[in-house]
Structure 1
Amino acid sequence: MARSRLTPEREAELYAAVLDLLREVGYDALTMDAVAARTHSSKATLYRQWGSKAELVVRAMRSSKPLHMDRIDTGSLRGDFLAMVSRVDDCQVEKDSALMRGLFHAVHHNPDLHQALRELLVEPEINGLHALLQRAVDRGEISADGSALKYVTHMLVGAFAARQLIEDLPPDQAFLRDYVDAVVFPALGV
């Protein structure tokens, strides 16, 4: 879809408004009319720019999540994981925990949201993580035959979900560093 150009400032303003509305009312109650009113935009402009509520919401989420694992390359697996963890914004994770739980619930009833989350948020990060791990294999830091290699994504997603579920705490940098050292690296034979 061809998108007209928005200034980075206007796009950031729109995304911030979408995330605020999402936190206030949840995905199912969020409407393009409400976004248009909040952002002083027309609904037609929003649909022309993003195509759907699902895409707008996921792009807004992506804009507030500047991890971009595909850009992490310190030259070592440990360095890459520490860089990845250091990019986690503890305040933002805490702020977005309820939002993410709500979105994951909404995914079950909204196939377009599920598809947008996979395509725009999940798959790019998985691909970045796979590239990070492949570089570690290429450097000889981990074995390509290791049985845990294909489960690293699952381990990391599990860390986020389990911390909130078990301890009712968001997964902050300290927890993630400990988790990587205690679970991920031993599983990979590091």
Structure 2
Amino acid sequence: MTSQAADRPETVGASRRSKLTREREQEFFDAVLGQLRACGYDAVTMEGIAARTRCSKSTLYRQWRTKPRLVAAALRSSQCPRFSGIDTGTLAGDLVEAARAAGKVSADDTRLLQALGHALVQDAELGRALREAVVGPEVDALREILRRGVERGEVPAGHPALEYVPVQMFGVLRARAVLEGRHADPDYLVRFVEAAVLPALGLAPAHGHRSPSQG
């Protein structure tokens, strides 16, 4: 098969997708994400989404062809960086505010990650979509926060802990749900940042940003 022939289905798919309004597409994506969070990846079916959105299965198959493609598109539609725009003037303050922002949506994000679970390992496209839509923008925003802190001289550029801050932030979001059966809410994440992340970077807690439980 020539490259031109291989590309043809995507071209056809693009022309078909253009027939749906953005609002109608979002209805499909919202239904997929809602079903994912409520019941898990295996429970999402083209038939079920068609019923929930009052359309025919053929419409979904024409647009996205497979369930993984539909789920991947829904994930990409949900892209909404929570950390972008945070700038308190200090690295400690920025990381505390990032913790608060993450905690406000941790329940939804954790449910989404848990719902996808094994499917992410099995389907490379789903994995890419999750990283692009949910994880990647947040990691980029965190790295920008860290870069500013380095530029201000708050942390040395070669500090070994800088590399691990995104892993710490995202790891604790999922780990608490697994270990304690509770979501990492804003208070918990602020305490985590002040007790673990800031000391690793050689920073003191941000003045005026302390968790209520710490006084």
Please say whether Structure 1 and Structure 2 have the same fold, judged by a TM-score greater than 0.5: yes
1:158 equivalent in structure 2:
171
Match of 2:74 among 53, 57, 60: 57
Mapped partners of 1:34, 1:133: distance in 2:
43
1:47 equivalent in structure 2:
64
Amino acid across the alignment from 1:68:
R
Match of 1:145 among 158, 163, 183: 158
Amino acid across the alignment from 2:110:
S
Once the two structures are TM-superposed, the CA of residue 44 in structure 1 deviates from its matched residue by 4.7
2:192 equivalent in structure 1:
179
TM-score (structure 1 length as normaliser): 0.80
Amino acid across the alignment from 2:60:
K
Mapped partners of 1:174, 1:11: distance in 2:
36
Q: Give the match's secondary structure for 1:69.
A: coil
1:77 and 2:91 are equivalent in the alignment: yes
Q: Structure 1 residues 37, 45: CA separation in 2 closer, same or farther (over 3 Å shift)? A: farther
TM-score (structure 2 length as normaliser): 0.72
Amino acid across the alignment from 2:171:
G
Report the RMSD for the aligned CA atoms in angstroms.
Answer: 2.8
- Greater Rg by CA: 2
1:136 equivalent in structure 2:
149
**Farther off after superposition, 144-153 or 161-170:** 161-170
| Deviations 1:59-83 (CA, angstroms, capped at 9, x unpaired) | 35x35xx443233223221222232
Mapped partners of 1:141, 1:45: distance in 2:
53
Alignment of 1:95-110 (within 5 A): 95=108, 97-110=110-123
- Does the aligned pair in 2 maintain the 1:107–1:114 contact within 8 Å? yes
Q: Give the match's secondary structure for 2:166.
A: helix
- Does the aligned pair in 2 maintain the 1:32–1:46 contact within 8 Å? no
